[in-house]
Chains A and B, each alone.
Chain A
Amino acid sequence: MFRKPPYILWFEESGRKNFELVGGKAASLGEMTQAGIRVPPGFTVTTRAFTDFLDASGIRKTIFPMLEKIDLKTPGSLSSISKDVLEIVWAQEIPDKIVEAIVAAYRKLVEMTGVKDLPVAVRSSATAEDLPDASFAGQQDTYLWITGEESVVQHTKNCWASLFCDRAVAYRLKHGFSHDREKIAVVVQKMVHAKCAGVMFTLNPINGDRSKIAINASWGLGESVVSGTVTPDEFLIDKVAFDILKRTISTKETEYRVNTAANRVDEGPVPDDRKNAPSITDDELLELSRIGKRIEKYYGTPSDIEWAVDADLPYPDSVVVLQARPETYWSQKKNQPEKKKTEKPADAVSMIAGMWGAPPKS
């Protein structure tokens, strides 16, 4: 008999193979995780949960005919109908089985970290792979710093509902996509509680040398490094042998910390005992470098990576990647490292003589 897919899939279980269930965002997080590129831990509420939600309650039969009636030429038609649909979706209870599955998964995250009411990000993960315009996916919401089981379930529903907001509906109409074709999955991912964070390049940004990894690190969230409000600690690591070649420990005056209660990020002074201390350990540096090397391999190009060390997780799980993109400056330059162009010598002996100032053999 055909086995029904699960409501929950962890990142480790997600990938392109189950794209239809987890959507683009989760598939990519899953592929990265499986390539050894660690991201903050989390799970996906699959599209099956979404479809079961629509079917079990019977609202599917109500809402799609309503959406069909929208006439873009009639002013107010779109906004009023989509508003009505959203009301229906919001009012509809999620079936217990689905709620239980989400709660169980969230509890597992709580258990992993030992943090009660663990803050998570809840985001939608679209399955509209054939849509080139990412703005469609952008309509789907992102909710940060969500805490507690109830709230996670509630925001899951918010993500589902985002499929029916007026802009999403208009987009589908404009491009001629049917409303019931689109399915949505929801990613629930631990918010990073950054002990330290920063930026990593999988080459030396000073000279483009691709045998190095350069890491900047400072206390707290990565904003301080990205925005340049602190002089970060700097490290240069050999990409082949993982030797830490250079370490410059700076005085780090300020750090950004999350104020969960106020749901905002506060900037504050670094306590004296940590100001001049290295913000990252050697083990963390090396783990990060290994991940950096995997990212470069994964994307096939030198990369520029935002990372953090999560204080809630044990090493090495604590070392996570927040964002990675291709490095652009050196990677687009033809002659990468700035080095002397040598004449092609005839043999090793002339090279030895050449080192000592002999002219190259003609």
Chain B
Amino acid sequence: MAGKFPNPHEIETIPGTEGWERMYPYYYRWTTKDKEREAYENSMFWFYDGLHYPEPMYPFDIIWDEAWFLALSQNNTRVFIVPPALGVDHRIINGYIYISPVPVPDPNEIPKRAEIFMKRAGYYYQHWDELYEKWKTKMVDTIRKLEAIEFPELPEMEDESIVTNAVGKSSGYELLRKYDELIDLGILTWQYHFEFLNLGYAAYVVFLDFCQKAFPDISLQRVTQMVSGIDVIMYRPDDELKKLAKLAVELGVDGDVLASTDVNALLESLKKTDNGKKWVDAFEEARDPWFYISSGTGWYHHDHCWNDNLNVPIDSIKIYIEKVKKGENLERPLKRLQEERDKITEEYRSLLETDEERQQFDMLLGTSRTVFPYVENHLFYVEHWFHSIFWNRMRQVGAILKDHGFIADVEDMWYLNRHEIKQALWDIVTAWATGTKPYGPLHWPEEVAWRKDVLQKFREWTPPPAVGTAPEKIEEPFTIVLWGITNDTMESWAKAKEAENITDLTELQGFAGSPGRVEGIARVCRSVDEINEIQDGDILVCPTTSPSWAPAFSKIQAAVTDVGGIMCHAAIVCREYGMPAVVGTGHATAAIKSGDRIVVDGNTGKVEIIR
């Protein structure tokens, strides 16, 4: 396997994109200037982080990559002292993020590190529930601070109170400070994101390792099933929609909801009747925080949440109303899921040989179940709730840039990175302070136009799945569990590389997300806006799913995603519905076309394309 992947220093720049590196932080660059750094880069295995970034980075959106670059790495290396692992290094190639886990260079260090790790991580495991409660409070505080951020106008003349209160600082300074605060809150949220995360995954990975030794070849999804929570908050947004659908039928306003074409008009007209008002109140109540659920992963500025487009939840409510009226039960079968989970857990446990093994099993399962609510719920707090509000606060900054002629459209702001936006704001406030014109209008429109073209060229380019030196065998547990990168996936990457045209591929290898095997017609949906096109019995093929895709799952018979591991939303939901899922195939949406006949094997993670 080693040596099969390209040398990162020899990847060619796409013609017309020369100089693209300036869009991103300089420390994401590869270099041959320094022999030692070049040799380090060549010796490492860098894989494309398609799990988080199915598309090239907008200069601004790289903020979350920087945030987790710092947060994950610091916790491994400097806080918890994870015995064999330092941080995860990051680079960029033609707009695509590549990452590489860095091992502890001297294996003799590992036992010493383990001593410290046991003490520090042990503290967290022992006080997990209490610390998790504190974590939730910290997160909600952070979100409330974010909501409180308001950007000052730059007045023609400052108010007299600035003088009489001896404030000593101007609106220009405040604008810079508020922007810093906004960015800081984002970075802080990501510090919290990783406060528990690797410890949570570590507990899971050890349990997984134990199960794989005791029951060789056991599917990852069964281990996850034993560990996963049944009632996790990622289901809550969808549950709220179901509740609203039932309430609409109970209150007799279901007809109004079904007939509506304009959400605002619907809400206004409903407010005129008592029952209508009750429903609108319930609807408004559900919006904070549950409608901050993103229709994407929340990692990109273009992932909109339900609050951004109320048609999305209303359309889903309509689907649920139809089901309520047909007498279908919308409840998630919590009791059955709980019973199934308990049954398989008990059965695997009974297959263990010795009491000692059973003790270990109980202990590791117990720890995994303790950590899992955090592992499952942090996504809602950070990627959905916080991010959804954050993107809109950033758009207020974009409006300022637009007002000053730096960009033609607010959405152009994402072509500036966070450091450049700060500079642009400096440009604005110094010009305001000085009584002159900023330089930005002469610089940014042209630069943004060029960057749009560059990103388009990046999108048309296919990033290699990995560069550098592949290890003989992938053993690093996080790489396997989180990114789903195994020896098998490396092989399948090699195959995909050999195929001249991606649409000629007849087989894709992903992760077995949910068991079962079906053949059917593919429906490719690139975003949640397209789920209305799904016909009963289709196989959903999509980049990834989130809870806002939930209504789709009641129509399909299987799901295939480009990104995601066995703990991704699509895999979890498919397991609940008892339908097959293959996740993390890399390029299903590129290789499969709507109408193709495909076979989804959720036991082996293979997708056959028959066409």
A contact residues vs B (CB 8 Å cutoff)? 204, 207, 209-212, 236, 238-241, 243-247, 282, 335-337, 339-340, 342, 344-345, 347-359, 361
Please tell me if the beta carbons of A337 and B216 are within 8 angstroms of each other in the complex. yes
A351 in complex: contacting residue of B111, B215, B219, B360, CB < 8 Å: B360
A358 in complex: contacting residue of B83, B353, B603, CB < 8 Å: B83
Interface contacts beyond A245-B603, A356-B83: sample of 18 additional A-B pairs, CB < 8 Å, sorted by A = A211-B218, A211-B351, A238-B215, A238-B217, A239-B351, A240-B344, A241-B344, A246-B604, A282-B517, A347-B363, A348-B367, A350-B118, A355-B202, A355-B205, A355-B206, A356-B110, A358-B83, A358-B117
List 6 A–B pairs whose Cβ atoms lie within 8 Å, in order of A's numbering.
A239-B351, A335-B353, A348-B125, A348-B364, A356-B85, A359-B111
Q: Which residues of the other chain, A, contact B205 by a CB distance below 8 angstroms?
A: 355
CA of A92 to CA of B83, assembled, Å: 88
Please tell me if the beta carbons of B110 and A348 are within 8 angstroms of each other in the complex. no
Please tell me if the beta carbons of B351 and A353 are within 8 angstroms of each other in the complex. no
Which 6 A/B pairs are nearest by Cβ-Cβ distance?
Answer: A358-B114, A356-B83, A211-B215, A348-B367, A349-B122, A353-B114
Given A241-B515, A345-B360, A357-B84, verify A211-B348 contact (CB < 8 Å).
Answer: yes
Among A336, A352, A359, find the residue whose CB has the most chain B CB atoms closer than 10 A: A352
A151 to chain B: closest CB distance in Å? 44
Is B471 part of the binding interface, using a Cβ–Cβ cutoff of 8 Å?
no
CA of A10 to CA of B106, assembled, Å: 73
A357 in complex: contacting residue of B114, B351, B366, B604, CB < 8 Å: B114
Q: Which residues of the other chain, B, contact A240 by a CB distance below 8 angstroms?
A: 222, 344, 347-348, 351
Q: Which residues of the other chain, A, contact B113 by a CB distance below 8 angstroms?
A: 358
CA of A348 to CA of B118, assembled, Å: 10
B contact residues vs A (CB 8 Å cutoff)? 82-85, 107, 110-111, 113-115, 117-118, 121-122, 125, 202-203, 205-206, 209-210, 213-219, 221-222, 225, 344, 347-348, 351, 353, 356, 360, 363-364, 366-367, 477, 515, 517, 603-604
Q: Which residues of the other chain, B, contact A210 by a CB distance below 8 angstroms?
A: 351
Please tell me if the beta carbons of A358 and B118 are within 8 angstroms of each other in the complex. yes
Q: Which residues of the other chain, A, contact B347 by a CB distance below 8 angstroms?
A: 240
Please tell me if the beta carbons of A357 and B125 are within 8 angstroms of each other in the complex. no
Please tell me if the beta carbons of B111 and A348 are within 8 angstroms of each other in the complex. no
CA of A335 to CA of B213, assembled, Å: 14
CA of A353 to CA of B363, assembled, Å: 14
CA of A244 to CA of B605, assembled, Å: 11
Please tell me if the beta carbons of B83 and A353 are within 8 angstroms of each other in the complex. yes
B203 in complex: contacting residue of A348, A350, A354, CB < 8 Å: A348
Please tell me if the beta carbons of A349 and B118 are within 8 angstroms of each other in the complex. yes
B341 to chain A: closest CB distance in Å? 11
CA of A246 to CA of B216, assembled, Å: 12
CA of A342 to CA of B118, assembled, Å: 18
Q: Which residues of the other chain, A, contact B114 by a CB distance below 8 angstroms?
A: 353-354, 356-359
Please tell me if the beta carbons of B206 and A241 are within 8 angstroms of each other in the complex. no
CA of A57 to CA of B582, assembled, Å: 71
- Nearest residue (CB) in B for A237 is B603
- Nearest residue (CB) in A for B121 is A349
CA of A335 to CA of B84, assembled, Å: 31
- Nearest residue (CB) in A for B110 is A357
- Nearest residue (CB) in B for A235 is B603
Among A212, A240, A335, A349, find the residue whose CB has the most chain B CB atoms closer than 10 A: A349
- Nearest residue (CB) in A for B203 is A352
CA of A355 to CA of B203, assembled, Å: 10
Given A241-B515, A243-B603, A350-B118, verify A355-B209 contact (CB < 8 Å).
Answer: yes
Among A342, A348, A351, A361, find the residue whose CB has the most chain B CB atoms closer than 10 A: A348
B502 to chain A: closest CB distance in Å? 26
CA of A244 to CA of B217, assembled, Å: 10
B216 in complex: contacting residue of A204, A241, A347, CB < 8 Å: A204
Given A339-B213, A353-B118, verify A243-B222 contact (CB < 8 Å).
Answer: yes
Q: Which residues of the other chain, A, contact B364 by a CB distance below 8 angstroms?
A: 348, 351
Q: Which residues of the other chain, A, contact B202 by a CB distance below 8 angstroms?
A: 352, 355
- Nearest residue (CB) in A for B124 is A349
Q: Which residues of the other chain, A, contact B206 by a CB distance below 8 angstroms?
A: 348, 351-352, 355
Among A335, A344, A351, find the residue whose CB has the most chain B CB atoms closer than 10 A: A351
- Nearest residue (CB) in B for A345 is B360
Please tell me if the beta carbons of B121 and A358 are within 8 angstroms of each other in the complex. no
Q: Which residues of the other chain, B, contact A359 by a CB distance below 8 angstroms?
A: 111, 114
Q: Which residues of the other chain, A, contact B214 by a CB distance below 8 angstroms?
A: 211, 337, 339
Q: Which residues of the other chain, B, contact A349 by a CB distance below 8 angstroms?
A: 118, 121-122, 125
Given A211-B215, A356-B85, verify A241-B117 contact (CB < 8 Å).
Answer: no
CA of A209 to CA of B218, assembled, Å: 10
B520 to chain A: closest CB distance in Å? 15
CA of A34 to CA of B421, assembled, Å: 76
A245 in complex: contacting residue of B219, B344, B348, B367, CB < 8 Å: B219
